[in-house]
Structure 1
């Protein structure tokens, strides 16, 4: 049976326990609430600074998440430390779990690392036409694991970021101007000077072909069955596709009108009757 002395003893113990740990609990709650508020504010300020620096939108959102996660983790550790929890053991557990997860998801983590490189160095952005990772088309989306590319036939190709970073990246939209290059062959019996003047006239009359740098036409090869011209013209990047195809069509039609032959591949065979 408990006597009055025992009741007083346990009540005193409870009061001491509550008084001792209530301050720790309130302190931990205060650290967590104020710390989380501060983490939000610091993250918002860092986001504004990144936006002012004209960083890529995807990089801004990714960096914002990382900054907030790190700050919130620090706040939680501080709150647990105030409660008297041994945070060193928790850090060790998180480290072991992180190592195991890292080994299990090494391919995914390599894609995340590649995404960070893409966002930092910006070899391309959404809307650019690129050739990367075995795919050619317009970039539709860039996330932490993959890049979505849409070819001209409106397919959707999802390429892992690590595969893109591991090989060459050709960006067709990076520059404001692109050069059209064609090899045009004429027959050996055709009028070379006429063909050259016709090619220059075609280039000069096309309004979408830039005057500077000036178009170029020159004999580049005396081939096996044709005299080959190198035809070069500069256009705005957005006009490249249409002008590239239209130019070939116009050259063929004009050559037909002028009687300038474009020979088929052929071989002359000489038979010795002896």
Structure 2
């Protein structure tokens, strides 16, 4: 179907009218968005400098920056809608209704937001702490309004919802300045335990990282299948925990060898019986059960 000249003229007139009426508003909205985005970026950077200047906790500053950015963008879009001629009363009513619907749909996200607030108030951990939570062990890298990022020891970043963190147990491995080093050591049956205890304590004293108070402890723990099991405990700075453990395990191995203290291998006594229940050794003619 071909359009006649009158119809084309009407369409052109309407297009020109629309362009003159809404074109400046659209250009204005685009300009407001560009300027607003620049201002938001500037304000967030300013907040960051203020937080650094006043030594605000990094977890709190990260949370506040994320929250402020979200609020500023909402205000920016309200300004753009107002510039386009949308009545603020109607827009806010629509926004409220939409917010209620979105809130019902995103209850988990609201729980995460509330969890983030609780984390910032009660401070079970802060950025840089090593924590164990939700099956993850690692260093806290960032606390956002909804999620906390934890970098584990093989350099993987795990994102954990704040709601789960706030409502479950968290083990903070960095909150206290000292940690206890636990070592389990086995020596052969027949070993002189007093001599062994002295060798262990003398070895630990050579390591300056091991604290004198509380003093190291060596206790006999149990009779193992092939060994006498000892528990060795000492205290050190939190950052030295694993180096002290690894270095002293190696040092104790060398000290045992130098002092003829045997580290046993697993041993088993095996007795073979024929189907009649007679021990194999007796069936060979030795009534005592030994080899002839």
* Aligned-residue CA RMSD (Å): 3.4
In the alignment, what sits opposite 1:241? 242
Aligned to 1:178: 179
Aligned to 2:289: none
CA displacement 1:161-220 (0-9 Å, x = unmatched)? 223234321111110000001111111122222111101111112100001111111112
Q: Is the 8 Å Cα contact of residues 128 and 172 (structure 1) preserved in structure 2?
A: yes
Aligned pairs for 1:65-214 within 5 A: 65=67, 93-214=94-215
- Higher mean C-alpha displacement, 156-165 vs 179-188: 156-165
Q: What is the alpha-carbon distance in structure 1 between the residues aligned to residue 214 and residue 142 of structure 2? A: 34
CA contact under 8 A between 2:179 and 2:235: conserved in structure 1? yes
TM-score calculated relative to the size of structure 2: 0.64
Mapped to 2, the partners of 1:142 and 1:205 lie a distance apart of 41
Alpha-carbon separation, structure 2, partners of 1:123 and 1:145: 16
Equivalent in the alignment of 1:24? none
SS in 1 for 2:247: helix
Query: Is the CA contact 2:62–2:143 (under 8 Å) kept in the aligned structure 1?
Result: no
Matched position secondary structure for 2:138: strand
Is the alpha carbon distance of 1:86 and 1:206 closer, same or farther for their aligned partners in structure 2, counting shifts above 3 Å? closer
Query: In structure 2, how many angstroms separate the alpha carbons of the residues matched to 1:264 and 1:106?
Result: 57
Q: Which runs of 5+ in 2 are unaligned?
A: 1-42, 273-277, 283-292
TM-score of the superposition, structure 1-length normalised? 0.68
Tell me if the contact between 2:62 and 2:142 (Cα under 8 Å) persists in the aligned partners: no
Native 8 Å contact 1:180 1:235 kept in 2:
yes
Q: How many residues align?
A: 220
After TM superposition, give the deviation of residue 265 of structure 1 in Å.
Answer: 2.6
- Report the CA distance shift for 1:61/1:163 in structure 2 as closer, same or farther (over 3 A): closer
Unaligned regions of 5+ residues in structure 1, if any? Answer: 1-39
- Kindly tell me: are residues 98 and 214 of structure 1, through their superposed partners in 2, closer, same or farther at Cα, counting changes over 3 Å? same
How far apart in 1 are the matches of 2:88 and 2:107? 30
Give the whole-Å Cα distance in 1 for the aligned partners of 2:160 and 2:205: 41
Structure 1 pair 141–60 and aligned structure 2 pair: CA distance change class (3 A): closer
1:225 matched residue in structure 2: 226
